């Protein structure tokens, strides 16, 4: 996940990143910039998870030792970071290295809490992002953002990602104790994936 962010940092100047151990908060003042980034980032994560190499035109390879699933959520609203955080306290003003890593705001909580609604390799759109948007951005009317639809060869990408997700979840289902994936959660994720990639 973090490798995907590092690979894309230079190409997206209008995006801010706040990494955590097992995730990242991605912030942008404009939703259209954010969605453009998310589309490319999710495909990049798929390529990293499968070891797929575009230069050699090699199809993805499934290897449970190096594969992983990701998902995310999009929310909307005021966020406080960098200069916005520094206004809170004089100590924060003089500690840039620490303060620049801080992020605060209700959308962060909305995204974190609603991420579990997303299917594997999917993006859930929180109601805040469906109800409100910047005047110059287009509204999102759907509960799920289908990130591959904006990329070249959307049907091919959808098929590849769907096959990978199904293979991953079936492997977990066959050996649930080895991967510590509760059966009930597996079944739920399989159903979510079927619906999302339909």
Give 14-60 as a DSSP string: T-EEEE-SS-EEEE-SSHHHHHHHHHHHHHHHHHHHHT--GGGTPPP
Determine the Cα–Cα distance for residues 143 and 186; give it in Å rounded to an integer.
21
Look at residue 57 and tell me whether its pLDDT is greater than 60: no
Residue 184: Cβ within 10 Å count: 8
User: In which band, very low, low, confident or very high, does the pLDDT at 83 lie, cut at 50, 70 and 90?
Assistant: confident
Name the residue among 71, 86, 67 with its Cα closest to residue 164. 67
What is the Cα–Cα distance from 191 to 58, expressed in whole angstroms?
A: 29
Q: How confident is the model at residue 118 (pLDDT cuts 50, 70, 90)?
A: very high
pLDDT of residue 144 exceeding 90: yes
- Residue 106 CA to chain centroid, in angstroms? 18
Q: Decide if 110 contacts 104 (C-beta within 8 A).
A: no
pLDDT at position 43: 94
Kindly report which listed range (5-14, 23-32, 142-151, 185-194) carries the lowest average pLDDT score.
5-14
Q: Which residue has the higher pLDDT, 171 or 53?
A: 171
Cβ atoms of residues 38 and 145 within 8 Å: yes
What pLDDT shows up at residue 5? 83
Non-local CB neighbours of 53 within 8 Å, separated by 6+ positions: 47
């Amino acid at each position: 996940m973090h490798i995907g962010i590092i690979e894309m940092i230079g190409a997206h100047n209008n995006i801010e990143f706040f990494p955590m151990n097992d995730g990242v908060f991605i912030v942008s003042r404009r939703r259209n910039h954010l969605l453009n980034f998310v589309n490319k980032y999710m495909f990049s994560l798929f390529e990293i998870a499968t070891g797929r190499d575009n230069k050699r035109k090699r199809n993805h390879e499934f290897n449970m030792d190096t594969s992983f699933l990701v998902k995310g959520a999009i929310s909307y609203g005021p966020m406080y970071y960098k200069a916005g955080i520094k206004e809170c306290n004089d100590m924060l003003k003089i500690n840039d290295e620490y303060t620049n890593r801080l992020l605060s705001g209700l959308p962060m909580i909305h995204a974190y809490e609603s991420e579990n609604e997303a299917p594997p390799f999917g993006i859930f759109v929180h109601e805040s992002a469906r109800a409100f948007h910047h005047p110059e951005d287009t509204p999102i009317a759907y509960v799920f953002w289908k990130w591959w639809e904006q990329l070249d060869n959307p049907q091919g990408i959808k098929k590849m990602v769907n096959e990978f997700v199904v293979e991953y979840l079936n492997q977990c289902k066959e050996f649930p104790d080895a991967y510590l994936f509760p059966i009930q959660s597996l079944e739920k994720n399989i159903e979510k994936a079927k619906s999302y990639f339909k």
